[in-house]
């Protein structure tokens, strides 16, 4: 399975594509998309959408996994990030590729084993899981690869994409008595509409 992970951001959007057989992961590509410093916000969104459209077309992923909004951010940041997430999701849907979302805590639990892991811990585990000699740079690329790995792990646990357009799952309260060690639940899944 080939999974294209996205770490959305208005200034810099990370991407990473991983090929996986369920237990071993191999990096296909990774990087970050950014616009020139003086770009307007609409121009930044256009750049994100255009570049992701090209990358998704070139990588031929089976699924796009994207980080969902973090609930504790301020309203202005959430709205800005929401726009970036929207154009990223649009690029996937236009390519008829299913989209799944994971929260930051789900991604950290899947990759590091702890939902409150710090960025350096996530980067180190991405490096180890992909058999790399150094952590992917910039950190946005490492985060996007972590999103893809999270989805690979949720697939290995048997949590598949929903047959309908959106699926909500009841989350287990704890894993081994620790609410921060819940396994990823498979996130929220979206299927492209059939034309």
Which residue in 101, 106, 140, 143 is the catalytic one? 140
Terminal-residue alpha carbon distance, the chain: 24
Residue 136 DSSP symbol:
-
| Cβ-count burial 172-194 (b if 16+ within 10 Å, e if not) | eeeeeeeeeebbbbbbbbbbeee
- Cα 189 off chain centre by: 12
- Return d(Cα 79, Cα 122) in angstroms, integer: 26
53 burial (CB, 10 Å; 0-12 / 13-18 / 19+) is: middle
Q: Is 67 a known active-site residue? A: yes
Which residue in 62, 67, 101, 178 is the catalytic one? 67
User: Do 56 and 95 contact (CB within 8 A), yes or no?
Assistant: yes
Catalytically active residues are 7, 67, 140
């Amino acid at each position: 399975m080939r999974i294209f992970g996205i770490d959305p951001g208005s200034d810099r959007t990370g991407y990473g594509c991983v090929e996986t057989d369920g237990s071993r992961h191999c990096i296909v590509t990774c990087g970050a998309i950014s616009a020139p410093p003086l770009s307007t916000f609409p121009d930044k969104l256009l750049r994100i959408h255009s570049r992701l459209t090209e990358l998704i077309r070139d990588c031929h992923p089976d699924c796009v996994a994207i980080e969902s909004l973090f609930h504790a951010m301020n309203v202005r940041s959430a709205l800005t990030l929401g726009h970036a997430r929207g154009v990223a999701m649009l690029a996937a849907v236009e390519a008829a590729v299913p989209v799944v979302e994971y929260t930051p805590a789900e991604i950290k639990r899947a990759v590091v084993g702890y939902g409150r892991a710090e960025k350096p811990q996530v980067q180190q585990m991405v490096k180890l899981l992909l058999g790399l000699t150094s952590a992917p740079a910039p950190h946005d690329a490492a985060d996007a690869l972590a999103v893809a790995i999270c989805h690979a792990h949720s697939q290995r646990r048997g949590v598949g994409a929903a047959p309908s357009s959106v699926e909500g799952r009841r989350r287990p309260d704890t894993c081994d008595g620790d609410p921060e060690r819940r396994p990823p639940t498979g996130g929220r899944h979206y299927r492209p509409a059939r034309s």
